[in-house]
Structure 1
């Protein structure tokens, strides 16, 4: 089982964030432009955990030696059932440097867009706070 899947299923935001590379790029199923960087990606993923109900992974594609993985999931957003996939690429350090999410059907994607839109002020605030926290940048 992929460590990202384990962290998500445990709803462990700190473990999820620890798996992200500093230069991770998150591609949303409902936004035109990708979101670069660990602070914004971690904040988005925390918001997703607040928005998704009955989230569960149903299939994992990729082996332990691969840099690319696909994690298929089901969830409910505002009463709409969605099916989606997390496409993950890990760098040479085993950290996620690319995360793209796709969802279907359109009614579910629309519900997700609306729910995440309602979270966006909080997402931006959390990302800004994490970005300005010197402890985040200690290596």
Structure 2
């Protein structure tokens, strides 16, 4: 998905958020349960921006129907080099409704789990604030 790739490469968290469907489901490479919802998904993506360094996409694979994409990336987290893939599905409106990430090697996934774990209180607080703002705006 070209728009998401450009938003990530620009480190534009607002643009990334705008591409998410309200009912997006995020599946982490290091957590057992998926995370449903735009608020938590956008907060997780902001956390990822904080922990990944030297991030770059190296390949983009799209289906012929234009609804499924795989974005292969390389990054460093806590001194460990990781290779990963963002698997993205978009709904009929072109919004991301399914987002799954996989990373390798195991040592990189472990470093990512530790780094994101250290971010999780902030991630949860950001998601709660976004949900509260959404409720207040209704």
TM-score class, shorter-chain normalisation, is: over 0.9
In structure 2, runs of 5+ residues without a counterpart are none
Q: Which structure 1 residue ranges, 4+ long, deviate > 2 Å from structure 2? A: 134-138
Partner in structure 2 of residue 118 of structure 1? 118
Contact 1:130 1:136 in 2 (8 A): no
> Partners of 1:121 and 1:28 in 2: how far apart?
16
Q: TM-score, normalised by structure 1?
A: 0.95
Mapping 1:55-134, distance limit 5 Å = 55-63=55-63, 65-134=65-134
Q: Per the alignment, in what secondary structure is the counterpart of residue 29 of structure 2?
A: coil
Q: TM-score, normalised by structure 2?
A: 0.96
Deviation at 1:134, TM superposition (A): 3.4
Q: 1:19 to 1:76 in 2, by over 3 A?
A: same
May I ask how many residue pairs the two structures share in their alignment?
A: 138
Q: CA RMSD in A?
A: 1.5
Partner in structure 1 of residue 47 of structure 2? 47
In structure 1, runs of 5+ residues without a counterpart are none
